[in-house]
Structure formats: C-alpha cells, structure tokens
Amino acid sequence: MAFEGLASKLQETINKLKGKGKLSEKDIRDAMREVKLSLLEADVNYKVVKSFINSVSERSLGDEVLKSLTPGQQVIKIVNEELTKLMGSQESKLNLEGKLSVIMLCGLQGAGKTTMAGKIALMLRKNGKKPLLAACDIYRPAAIKQLQVVGSSIDIPVFTMGDKQSPVDIAKAAIEHAKNNGNNVVILDTAGRLHIDEELMDELKNIKDCVSPGEILLVVDSMTGQDAVNVAESFNSKLTITGVVLTKLDGDTRGGAALSIKSITDKPIKLVGLGEKMNDIEVFYPDRMASRILGMGDVLTLIEKAQNSIDEKEAEKLGKKLLSQEFNFEDFLTSMQQMKNLGPLSKVMEMIPGANAKALKGANMEQGEKELKKMESIIHSMTLEERRNPSMLSTSSRKRRIAKGSGSTIQDVNKVIKMYDSMKQMMKQFGGLQKKGKKGLFGKLPF
C-alpha cells in the first residue's frame, strides 16, 4: 500500500485529537511533534517538513480550531489542505495541444522509463489519441528490443532506427514518421545513466533543442526517497523539466519523494505508476492522495476505475438477472471476475472512506485474495448444468465431488452456496422495493 507507514502514523496521531472534546495549545503542539517525526521517518525533505509543520501549527492554534465545537475535525481539515498544497494543490494535465504533441521521457537507468513510455501510450490511446513510441536509447543493451516488446504487448507502434544513428536524428525521424502515418503523439524513450553526467545532459539538451517537446517528463523511482528529489533537482536545473512521473508508488510505504518533489523543484507530479501491469498508471491528484493518506478514502478514483474496468453491457445484464431471479453460478462467477478487474483488494480498500491504514495493515488482504481464488475454483469444479441450475447442489454427493475437484472441503462448498443464496435473497428484496416504485432509493447496481 502506498504511504502505508506514514498514513498509519498520521491517522493514529489525528485520531487522538478527534477523541478530545476540546483542544489546548499543548495538545496541538504534541500532535505536531508526532506529525513532524512521522514525516521525517517517511524520508520527507527536512525543509519541506519544517514549512509544513509551521503552516499547520499556525492555522491550528487559531481561534477557528481552539474555540470550535469539533476541534479534531478542524485540525484534520487543515492537515488535509496543507498536504494537498504540499503535493501541488490540483491535477497538472499533460500538454497535448496542437496537431502533434511530443513527450520526452528522461531519467536515470532503472527508474522504469521504457515501461512507463508504454503505460503512457496506452493511457493516451484510451483517451482517443494515436501515440507512437520512439526508441532513442541506443546505449543500453536490448533497450530497443524492450520497447518493441512493450509496444507489441499493447498494440502501439514503435519507431526504431537501430543503434547506429544519433538519438537526435532518431527523434527527428520519429516525428516525421508520425506526421506521415497519422500519429498525433510521439513519446521519446531516451537513454539513462547510472548517475548524472555531462554527456547524458548534453544529449538530452540536444534532443530538446531539435524537437521542442511540449512535455519533458522526468521518470523517477519513488522508492528511492530523498535520492529521487535530488535527481529531480539536477535534471530540472539542466533541462527545465515540465513535470515528474513517479514509478513504483504502490511499493513506497514512506512517501518521501511524492511529498517533497513539488516543494523542492516547483514541478508538478503528473502521473504515477502503481503496479507492474500496463494499465497500472494514474493521473496524480494531490487532493485525492492527501485524502488516502489521512484515511478519508478516494471515491472519485474508485468510480473512475470501475468505469474503465467493468464491462457496462455485462454489468447491465447481470443487474437484470439479479432482479429477475435468473441469477445463477455462471453469473456469480462473472460478477466476481468483474470486481477483480478493479485491481488487488488492498488497493480497492484504501480508496474506501474509513478504511484506515492501520486497519488495512491488520487485515489479511492476502488471505482475502486467496478466498476469492478458492471460490472461483469451487465454481469452476461444478458442471455447466450445476452452475446454471444451483438447485441441483442440494445433494451431498455433488458437494463431495466439487470439493474434491477444487481441492477444498464440503464446508467451503457450503459457504459458497450460502453466499450465493444470500446475494440472491438480498436482490429479491431490492426487486420488491423497485416494483413498489422505490427505484431511486438504490440507483444503479454496482455490477
């Protein structure tokens, strides 16, 4: 879970304040000391921490909080606003103006530029663009091949000229190729180094001068913490980057890079990578991320995920079957697979308001994922006739056969049947209310 360590400590500190009917200056100062330590442990830049604590303390010690009937809630509101401000206040969109947009990716080796190039291309295609990937890394062994493999996996064209031409010539030729073939976005995958050197920077500056990219995005590994901030400072001073892309944010339990980069470089975080799959990329919304850190959820992102991941026609069909009592185990299996498209259970849970970091850490999410797989296995072990006619599963001999086929027990099979029956019964009640003209009470079913 992203920011797991920091989120857990911040939520714990703030919950202490929520439990008090009235706050004194000492209460707030003690809380700010804990928040300060939490941020420093999360590898947030010390100058950023100092500025943040001063802002929150100054606002929290005002009459608005100390004389409030709900002082704890007021402090949470202030912390949320200041965290949002720290990360950039609002979403910073990609500059994709004009007939042809050029995005130049830069960064050190190992940050994940090549994979991120593919993720950005896939995201843009979903938004109606026609991207072209350009292989401008002629130094790293198999870099060109890697980009071709990435492009092939998502059906995005890749422009290459081998490793004998200069990166500048490749970039210029890629743009001409895009103009001639109807592509309206060119994503340049440039070379990285193990460390920053003049040769690398000169090459990147030459590409920038020749093709004038609308976006120069620095790709950094969020798990490197303060090092990511230092890299961002160096690249920005030489290239004047337009934004930052954070990779591996799902594995960054501290969050130092995400909370420091905007303040130190004055450049926004535009995109974040949250997993290994090609669609594990999100636009960075500072306000939503601040809400997640404080355990307030992120319903908007969850809704967007559902809209992008769940098949609308299939969902509508399932909803109708549920209400008409035609719902069977085939449909039950489909509904489970639709929910799995939202991503791992832990990622979905952290977007739900009230699911605080400590509770999520204590909950065995891995066990939950295993239970879902076991349920799928049990349903797959039923015959097609049994899945379509659940009433056939009343005999113990059938249950024994299903349990043996799925490597589970009869108790597990009974549990799945009971869950199915409960779901069907609940939908029967909903259907009855809808027939009485109370349709607006429930709105659309979440399938």
Domain layout of the chain by residue ranges: 4-86, 101-302, 309-441
pLDDT tens figures, 189-213: 999 877 778 888 899 999 999 999 9
pLDDT number for residue 105: 95
Span of 182-191, 343-352, 409-418 with lowest mean pLDDT: 343-352
Span of 241-255, 325-339, 373-387, 409-423 with lowest mean pLDDT: 325-339
Q: In the predicted model, what is the mean pLDDT of residues 215-239?
A: 88
Q: Round the average pLDDT of the chain to a whole number and report it.
A: 81
- Sheet of strand 185-190, all strands in order from the earlier edge strand to the far edge: 158-159, 131-136, 185-190, 101-106, 215-221, 243-247, 269-273, 281-283
pLDDT number for residue 44: 86
Which overall architecture, per CATH, does domain 309-441 show? Orthogonal Bundle (1.10)
Whose CA is closest to 233, among 265, 280, 199? 265
Residue 161: DSSP 8-state = B
pLDDT tens figures, 421-446: 877 776 666 555 445 544 443 344 33
In sequence order, which residues have a C-beta less than 8 Å from that of residue 129 and are 6 or more positions away? 96, 184, 185
The Cα diameter of the chain in Å comes to 75
**b/e 85-103 (16+ beta carbons within 10 angstroms → b):** bbbbeeebebebeeeebbb
User: Are the C-beta atoms of residues 118 and 153 closer than 8 Å to each other?
Assistant: yes
Work out whether the CA dihedral 226, 230, 233, 235 comes out positive or negative: negative
CATH 3.40.50.300 fits 101-302, yes or no: yes
Pairing of strands 281-283, 269-273: antiparallel
DSSP-derived secondary structure for 188-234: EEE---SS--HHHHHHHHHHHHHH--SEEEEEEEGGGTHHHHHHHHH
| pLDDT tier for residue 75 given thresholds of 50, 70 and 90 | confident
In sequence order, which residues have a C-beta less than 8 Å from that of residue 341 and are 6 or more positions away? 309, 310
CA gap 419, 130 in Å, rounded: 45
| pLDDT tier for residue 224 given thresholds of 50, 70 and 90 | confident
User: Are the C-beta atoms of residues 352 and 302 closer than 8 Å to each other?
Assistant: yes
pLDDT tens figures, 113-138: 999 999 999 999 999 999 999 999 99
Q: Which residues face 269 on adjacent strands? A: 244
Residue with tokens 């489970």: 336
- In percent, the amount of the chain with pLDDT more than 70 equals 78
Domain 4-86 in CATH: superfamily? SRP54, nucleotide-binding domain (1.20.120.140)
Q: In the predicted model, what is the mean pLDDT of residues 366-377?
A: 77
37: pLDDT strictly greater than 70: yes
State the virtual CA torsion across 427, 432, 437, 441 in degrees, nearest 10: -40
In sequence order, which residues have a C-beta less than 8 Å from that of residue 294 and are 6 or more positions away? 7, 10, 11, 14, 76, 79, 80, 83
pLDDT number for residue 260: 87
pLDDT number for residue 54: 92
pLDDT tens figures, 299-321: 556 556 555 655 666 666 666 66
CA gap 201, 195 in Å, rounded: 11
Rg of the chain (C-alpha set): 26
Q: From residue 11, give the alpha-carbon distance in Å to each of 17, 142, 400.
A: 10, 45, 47
Q: In the predicted model, what is the mean pLDDT of residues 351-370?
A: 55
Name which residue leads in pLDDT, 313 or 416.
416
pLDDT tens figures, 272-300: 998 888 988 989 988 888 887 877 655 55
CA gap 292, 357 in Å, rounded: 9
Element of type H or E holding 270:
strand 269-273
